[in-house]
Structure 1
Amino acid sequence: MIISNIVGGLGNQMFQYAAGRSLSLRLNLPLFLDISDLTNYKLHYGYQLNHIFRGQFDIANNSLLGEVLGFQNNFALKRILKYDSLKFFRSRHYVIEPFFKYTDISGDISQKAYICGYWQSEKYFKEHAAIIRDDFRFKSELNEINSKISQLILSVNAISIHIRRGDYISNKSTNALLGICPLDYYDAAIKKISSKVSRPHFFIFSDDVEWVKKNLKINHDHYFINHNHGSDSFNDMRLMSMCKHHIIANSTFSWWGAWLNSRKDKIVIAPKNWFKKPVDNRDLIPQTWLTVEV
C-alpha cells in the first residue's frame, strides 16, 4: 500500500494526493492518506479533499500506519526523521522527498511505502492526468452568484488573474519563503497575454481585492471576485478552472486552478521566480506554460 502524508493548504494537499495516487496506479497498490499532521494545523482550513472533490480519499488509520512504519509510527519520531541528517535511521518504507525538483521515487518502493513531501510537479502524476482530473471534480453545486459568474466566464475570452496577499504577508515564515508577486509581474503578464488573446476579459481573484482595485491598472474588461470566503474559498479555484487562460500567483492554489483547465490551447503565465530564496523549481511549472521574471 501507499500512504501519502497530507499537510498544508488545499493546493498542497492536492499535490500530495496526486503524487500518491499516480504512484499507487503505477505500482498497482491501494492508496491511503495520513491526515494526522492537520489535527492542529491552524494556517488554512484543515483537511479538505473529501469535502470538496468527488474522488475516493481513503484515510489511513493507526493500524495501517503501523503496518507500514512499525515503531516509527510516532508523531515526534516521524517529524525528527524528516531531517536529512537522520535519513539512515528511517525505515526503508519511509520515503521523504529528497529535493524540490522532480525525483522518481518509484524504484525505492516494493509493496508498501509512506511518502512525505510536497511533490510540486506535474511530472509526478502527468501519466495519469485524466484520472487525477476526474478525482478532482467538484462535489457541490454552484450557488446562485457563482453560477452567474460561471456563465459570464464561459461566454467570453476569460483570463483568470490570482493576486495572493493575505498569509503571504501576515505569516512571517510564508513571507520569508515566498513573498508576493510584485505589480510589475502582473503588468508584464497582462501585457503578454493581451497580445495573444483577442477581446480578453479578466477575472481577478484576490484575498485583498480593495488593495488590488487601488493598485492594479488594467485597460480591459475585468471583474473582481471577492465573495468566496473561509471554507468556501475553493470555489475561486473552481471558477479559475473555467477560464480559458490564466495568470497565476506563486501559489499552489492558482497553479491548480490553471491545471484543472484541460483545454489544449490554454495560455498560462506563471512567475519565473516562485520563491524568495534560491530553490531549484525547474519542474514546478509545466513546460507548456509561460513564465515572467518577477
Structure 2
Amino acid sequence: MVIVRAYNGLGNQMFQYALGRHLALLNGTELKIDTGAFADDPLREYELHRFKVRGSIASAAEVAHFREMEAADPQHYLRLMQKSRLFDPAILQARGEIYLHGFWQTERYFTQIRELLLDEFQLRTPPAEGAMKMAGRIEASNAVAVHVRRSDYVTNPKTTLHHGVLPLEYYQEAMRRMAGMVPDPVFFIFSDDPQWARENITPPGPAVCIEGNDASNGHEDLRLMRTCKHFIIANSSFSWWGAWLSGNPGKRVIAPLRWFAKPEIDTRDIVPPQWIRI
C-alpha cells in the first residue's frame, strides 16, 4: 500500500496525488489518501474528490497501523519525507509499504504517467452553462491564461514572507513577451482578487477577467484555465497545473524566475525546462 498525505491547497494536493499514483503503480499496489491534516486546517479542505482520481481515503486505523509498523519494521514500512524542493530519484525507487509526506512539486515524479493524469484530473461534474459559454470563448481564440495570485500571499505575513508577491512588472513583461510570440492573443485573467486584477493588469490586447468563482470552487477556474492555449503563471501550484494540463502541443508558458521569496530555496526542478522563466 502507498499512503500519501494530502494537505494545503488544491494545486499542492494534485502534486501529492500525482506522485502517490505513480509510486503505487510502480509498486503494483493500491493508493490511499490520508486527509487527516484538514481536520486541523480551517482554511483548507480536501478537494481531490472533485476529480476522477483513483485511490480511497485512508482510515485513521490504517494510518495508525502504519505508524506502529514503521517503528517495528522500518525496512518494509517506509515513511518518505521531502528533503528539499529538488527531485529525488530515490523516491521513485522505493518499494514496500510507503507513506509519503511532502509537496513533491516537480513533474519529474510523474511525467511517465502524464496521459493517465490528464484523464484523472478531469472534473467529475459537467460545467455550468456560464462556464460552458466562457470555455467556448476561450476555445475560439488564441487564449492566454494570466494567473494573478494574491489572497494569503498579500494578507498573511507568514505566507508573504515565504512566497512573496509578484510585482506588476513581471506581468507587464510577460504579457509583452507573449504578445511577441503568439499571434492575436486574447488574455484571460484569472485571480482570487478579480477587482484588483481588473484595475491593475493591463494586457497589450483584448482581455477578459474571469469572475464568479472563489476559494470554494476554484476547480472551475482550473477547468477553464487548462482550456487556454498559452500561459502566464504565478508562483503558484494552481496555475502550474493549469499550464501543465493544457493539451496544446505548441503552448508557450512564462513562469517567474523566483518561485519563493527566499532565494536560498533551490527551485530549478519546479518549472519544466521548456517553460520560459523571467
What is the TM-score with the length of structure 1 in the denominator? 0.89
Correspondence for 1:110: 95
Match of 2:269 in 1: 283
Secondary structure in 2 matching 1:242? coil
Question: Could you list the per-position Cα deviations for residues 64-92 of structure 1 after superposition, in whole angstroms to 9, with x for gaps in the alignment?
Answer: 2234221779xxxxxxxxxxxxxxx9995
- Superposed CA deviations along residues 162-185 of structure 1, whole A, max 9, x for unmatched, are 001111111122111001111110
- How far apart are residue 107 of structure 1 and its match? 6.3
Deviations 1:193-218 (A, max 9, x none): 11111000000011222222222222
List aligned pairs for 1:73-112, cutoff 5 A. 93-106=78-91, 109-112=94-97
Is the counterpart of residue 53 in structure 1 residue 51 in structure 2?
A: yes
Alignment partners' CA distance in 2, 1:107 and 1:224: 40
Q: Please list, as runs of the form range in 1=range in 2, the aligned pairs for 1:214-253 lying within 5 A after superposition.
A: 214-253=199-238
Choose the corresponding residue for 1:203, options 181, 188, 195: 188
Give CA-to-partner distance per residue, 1:232-287, whole Å, 9 cap, x none.
12111110000000000001111111111022111111001000002100000011
Q: Is the 8 A contact 2:69 2:77 kept in 1?
A: no
Q: 2:64 aligns with which of 60, 66, 87?
A: 66
Q: Stretches of 4+ moved more than 4 A in 1?
A: 89-92
- What's the C-alpha RMSD, in Å, of the aligned pairs? 1.8
Displacement of 1:230 in angstroms is 3.3
Structure 1 range deviating more: 159-168 or 203-212: 203-212
Give the deviation of 1:161 after TM superposition.
0.2
Q: Secondary structure at the match of 1:273?
A: coil
Contact 2:92 2:109 in 1 (8 A): no
- Paired with 2:191 and 2:21, the residues of 1 have a C-alpha distance of 30
Structure 2: segments with no counterpart, 5+ residues: none
- Mapped to 2, the partners of 1:271 and 1:144 lie a distance apart of 34
Secondary structure of the structure 2 residue equivalent to 1:110: coil
**SS state of the match for residue 94, structure 1?**
strand
Q: Which residue number in structure 2 is paired with residue 77 of structure 1?
A: none
1:105 is paired with a residue whose SS is: helix
Q: In structure 2, do the counterparts of structure 1 residues 13 and 140 end up closer, same or farther at CA, with 3 Å as the change threshold?
A: same
- Comparing 183-192 with 53-62, greater Cα deviation is found at 53-62
Percent of paired sites with the same residue: 36
